[in-house]
Structure 1
Amino acid sequence: MLSEPTFSFTNFQQDAVKALLSSTGISLLAILPILILIVRQCGSAHPAPPRGCRRLGLPPGHSNLHDEFDPKYSKGTSKDVDDKGQPLWRVKALFTHPIKSCAAVELNVADVVSTGFAFDRQFCFAEQFTPDQASTSEEKTQPYWDARTLRNGHYSRLALIRPEIWVPDPAAPDYAPDLDEVRSKGVMVMYYPRPAGRGLSSYLVKLGIALRLLPRELSFSVPLVPPPDRASAYPPVPVKIWKDTPVAYDYGQHLPQSLREFLAPPDAGASRPLTLFRVDPTHHRQVFRNAPRKEELGFQPVTGFADAYPLHILNIASVHDVAARCARDIPRLSVRRFRANIIVQGPEAYAEDHWKRILIRPTGAKSDADAGVEVHVACRTMRCRLPNVDPATGIRHASEPDRTLKSYRRIDPGDPTNACLGMQCVPSVQEFVIRVGDTVSLLETGEHCYIKLLKPGEIVEGV
């Protein structure tokens, strides 16, 4: 017969001492002061809003794409109005992408400037290559900076960097013209997931996040433009964007080490020097190729760090068609993957393939002052594998939607090897305002033939 166990305080003390002296116990004792420090610091984890400024964009949690997967957007409609008097062909959503390949800022109203949407692709990350590290066959004798995008290996993580644009607001209670935030014409705040690190550090960070003692994101801010009295702190440096090499401001001094760790995780291998560039407005890239010329517009179109043209328009019905074809691999294919500025609803899928000119006009406009803006539809958007990256997770799909697109959307005689989705555009004026709900009217259709990007000095016959 088994005897009942008896409690001995002496035995309890001995067992407790043994537990504390074990490796696990020692680790827990070491962790305790760190957790206490985390608790003390967590109150200041969220940065204060930039002084004298207001944030651009929709409130957090709001989006005009909240119903983007509704089947009603799969079909085209007439060019008339719906039962609420709204145009059936209209602007559904607007996006500016301040940092090339990073998250977008969604807008209800967008200012269009000479380079496209205000703040769009005005920043980019770049790595420094030395000639022996270069992945290109071009002969280079000096180190050079090359822009990084979602196309580049572990840089799919760029999708998780979330910028906020804050602009000076004289109505703000703390506004003053001599504030640094005002003198730099605003601030960009950049949020990114907190890197976990390795070993015990990784465990502590994950524990702190799980216990809500640590925020999931870290942040830092940069001036929207170099302040006049600190211009020398942002040296102009050439940066390679495709076959162009514009001069841009080097913002590398602002990058925290934790961001470098996030973009170059331990399993990414040897990392190269990384920096952030800001477009130098005196070195915009002129756009030729399929774009209308100065003789027609009165100005030559320009861009910042965009791939090619100032504006990118996407028809939601076309995205629905692609989504239906790759639903097995990607059950919910978001419009956001294709990183357009203007999302339109109403036209049937791929109707935009033959647009040459459209008119964007405020809804209900009747006066000549609201006549709208004519937009030249320069060419189709050639697709690479960038949309394979899920903007919500930063995870790259091995083949979709690129494989599906190439199976039936290689339609342009100028580039028969790549698929097309969306249209590249050039406004007929350098500045205007566009709003969600604006009417989209078709002025002209015709054929397109894509002209590939040229090296400096190359000429296409007849262009």
Structure 2
Amino acid sequence: MSNVDISHGGILPNLIIIFLLSALFLVLKTLTTLKTSNNPKGCRRLGLPPGQSNLDDEFDPKYSQGVPSDQDDHGRPSWRVKALFSYPLKSCGAVELQVSNVVPTGLEFDRQFVFAEYNNDEWNIRTLRNAGFNRLALIHPEIWVPDPSAPDYDADLPEIKSQGVMLISYPRMLPAGWSSLPIKVGMALKFLKSQQTFQVPLLPPADSKFPLVPVKIWKDKVLAHDYGRLLPASLHAYLGSDTSKNTLTLLRASAPHSRQIFRNAPRKEDLGFQPNTAFADAYPIHLLSISSHRDVAARCAYAIPRLSIRRFRANVIVQGPSAFEEDHWKRLAIGGTEIHASCRTVRCRLPNVDPLSGDRHKAEPDRTLKSYRRIDDGDRTNACLGMQLVPAKEKFVLRVGDSVEVLETGEHQYIKMLAPGEKVEGV
């Protein structure tokens, strides 16, 4: 008779081993399938290195006080650019820069892309203002531009032909149940990133099929390139979109169809060109003073102990002036380039969304701002913080550390956005 051990003591360990080996095989197979792609070929990433920021000390009490504009700060101007930010994908994460080209629409690459949703028979842009879209805060773009010195550079690469690519990263969505186990293991072992990533061309190649479609941005309607076919199903899932209904897309601004700006902006007769922008709300560049922000943050501390200036999504953050001194700037020079301060920035509730978590505070900082910053006769309903800028030159370079010099001060009165054909007395 055979001496095979059929007791639980013999079978159970073998079953456990078989289960563990099967699970390991499944994990390895899944990790191979989900392996993160390499960086774009022939390109370099724009911006500061990961983990580095010129705002690391933004909560230092010294920024609560202004300093004289003619004071020397260890060989640097006391009034200067502290930080620069571009937001390539509207309402999503920022790219922090040490230096940036400025183009007619603002900082290069700023707000050139936007998500849009199809409803009421038209595409409408979607931002952090919109209910259900606070998850946009956790989507992070990177700009990669051609680098001829890169070892894998080749002029025939699609990344080069499109003058670079934008990488878009977003939190990895886990499937329900046991099927998420391999992914969790991979993330725990650092084989998998917690973010999923895909890329889109910075410019649509001439022979590509990214059609121009009309999109409504506030009261304007412009033509933009439809990149919707590049959106992965996992991004649709992350944003709660049903892929079968084709109601979510990604749009890329078209330079020939940029939005000309009038309202408070200087005119072509004064500049030699009419200011324009892509998907920025209204004007090419948004400036914010860190001392002004510290004043607001101190008043909000009861609800948000560390209110970051990042919530206000400015392009240029300056240090030196006292709180709200910028309210009356009309013209200034940054790094020697003349820039018009066209109007104050009228605030919406978008800064209520925490850019680190995507959580939306039910009241702050909007409530505090409205309690003491409804200062513009053009809009007494909403608060103001920051200034909207229009450069007197179409192209130049901005750098962190550039001097800030006020050339002219005066009064401001905000002119609201008008729909086509809409008239306002005196405008």
After TM superposition, the score normalised by the length of structure 2 is: 0.93
In structure 2, stretches of 5+ residues that fail to align are none
Please report how far the alpha carbon of residue 291 of structure 1 lies from its aligned counterpart in structure 2 after TM superposition: 0.6
The one of 19, 25, 28 aligned to 1:36: 28
- Shift of the alpha carbon at 1:40? 4.1
* CA pair 446-27 structure 1, distance change in 2 beyond 3 A: farther
Residue 407 of structure 2 is matched in structure 1 by 443
State the Cα deviation string for residues 153-201 of structure 1 (Å, max 9, x = none). Answer: 2211111111111111222222222221111111111111101233334
Cα distance in structure 1, aligned partners of 2:381 and 2:420: 23
Q: Is the 8 Å Cα contact of residues 264 and 271 (structure 1) preserved in structure 2?
A: no
Residues in 2 aligned to 1:271 and 1:154: alpha-carbon distance in whole angstroms: 17
**Matched residue type, 2:146:** P
Cα distance in 2, alignment partners of residues 27 and 381 from structure 1: 61
Letter in 2 for 1:163: P
Corresponding position of 2:303? 329
Deviation, 1:461, is 2.8
1:12 aligns with 2:2: no
Shift of 1:462: 2.7
Tell me the residue number matched to 1:238.
214
1:193 match: 171
| Structure 1 residue identity aligned to 2:105 | T
Partner of 2:94: 104
Q: Which amino acid aligns with 2:52?
A: H
SS at 1:375 equivalent = strand
Q: How far apart are the structure 2 equivalents of 1:246 and 1:210?
A: 45
Report if aligned partners of 1:249, 1:278 keep a CA contact under 8 Å in 2. yes
Q: In structure 2, what residue type is equivalent to 1:35?
A: V
For 1:430 and 1:160, locate their aligned partners in 2 and report how far apart those are by CA, in whole Å. 32
Select 2:315's aligned residue among 309, 325, 341.
Answer: 341
Query: For the Cα contact (< 8 Å) 2:30–2:182, is it kept in 1?
Result: no
What amino acid is aligned across from residue 153 of structure 1 in structure 2? A
CA shift for structure 1 position 411? 1.0
Structure 1, residues 189-221: CA drift from partner, whole Å, max 9, x if none? 111110123333445544442343421011111
Q: Is residue 170–residue 197 contact of structure 2 (8 Å, CA) maintained in 1?
A: yes
Percent identity at matched positions? 60
How many Å separate the matches in 2 of 1:27 and 1:302?
Answer: 62
Report SS of the residue matched to 2:133: helix
1:162 partner amino acid: H
The answer for the alignment partner of 1:255 in structure 2 is 231
The answer as to whether partners of 1:317 and 1:348 remain within 8 angstroms in 2 is: yes
- Deviation of 1:393 after TM superposition, in Å, equals 1.1
Displacement, 1:95? 0.5
Per-residue deviation, residues 69-108 of structure 1 (Å, max 9, x unmatched): 1111110000123341111100000011000001011111
**Aligned counterpart in structure 2 of residue 283 of structure 1, from 226, 241, 257:** 257
Counterpart in the other structure of 1:179 = 157
Aligned CA distance change for structure 1 residues 177 and 33 (closer, same or farther; 3 Å): closer
Shift of 1:265: 7.7
- Offset of 1:9 from its aligned partner? 8.9
Pair 1:123-2:113 in alignment: yes
Structure 2 counterpart of 1:451, one-letter code? I
Question: What is aligned with 2:36?
Answer: 46
Flag structure 1 segments of 5+ consecutive residues without an equivalent: 1-7, 132-142, 362-371
Q: Deviations over 1:39-89 (max 9, x none)?
A: 4456xx332221221111111111111111111111000012334111110
Change (3 A) 1:204 1:401: farther
Distance in 2, Cα, partners of 1:98 & 1:83: 33
Q: Distance in 1 between matches of 2:181 and 2:303?
A: 33
* 128 and 94 in structure 1: CA distance in 2 versus 1, 3 angstrom threshold: same
Q: Tell me which of 400, 412, 419 is aligned to 2:383.
A: 419
What corresponds to 1:214 in structure 2? 192
- CA distance in 1 between partners of 2:284 and 2:136 (Å): 22
* Aligned equivalents of 1:242, 1:314: Cα separation in 2: 23
C-alpha distance in 2, partners of 1:284/1:265? Answer: 28
- Alpha-carbon distance in structure 1 between the residues aligned to 2:181 and 2:151: 42
- Paired with 1:241 and 1:30, the residues of 2 have a C-alpha distance of 52
Post-superposition Cα deviations, 1:399-433, rounded to whole Å, max 9, x if no partner, equal 11111111111111111110111110100111110
Residue aligned with 2:220, SS: coil
Count of residue pairs brought into register by the alignment: 422
Secondary structure of residue in 2 paired with 1:245: strand
Cα distance in 2, alignment partners of residues 249 and 394 from structure 1: 27
Shift of 1:30: 7.4
Partner of 1:224: 202
1:364 is aligned to none
- Secondary structure of the 1:403 match is helix
Name the structure 2 match of 1:457.
Answer: 421
**Structure 2: how far apart are the matches of 1:332 and 1:286?**
37
Report the CA distance between 1:271 and its aligned residue. Answer: 7.8
SS at match of 1:352: helix
Pair 1:57 & 2:47 matched = yes
Q: 1:458 Cα shift?
A: 1.6
Q: Do residues 394 (structure 1) and 358 (structure 2) align?
A: yes
State the secondary structure of the residue aligned to 1:94. strand
Q: Match of 1:151?
A: 129
RMSD: 2.3
Give the secondary-structure state (helix, strand or coil) at the position aligned to 2:57: coil
Aligned-residue offset at 1:459: 2.5
Q: Do 1:38 and 1:214's aligned partners in 2 also have CA atoms closer than 8 Å?
A: no
Match of 1:166 in 2: 144
- Give CA deviations for 1:378-409 in whole Å, capped at 9, x if unaligned: 11111111111111111111111111111111
Distance 1:74 1:324 in 2: 9
Q: Which residue of 1 aligns with 2:272?
A: 298
- Alignment check: 8 A CA contact 1:318 1:349 kept: yes
Q: AA paired with 2:167?
A: V
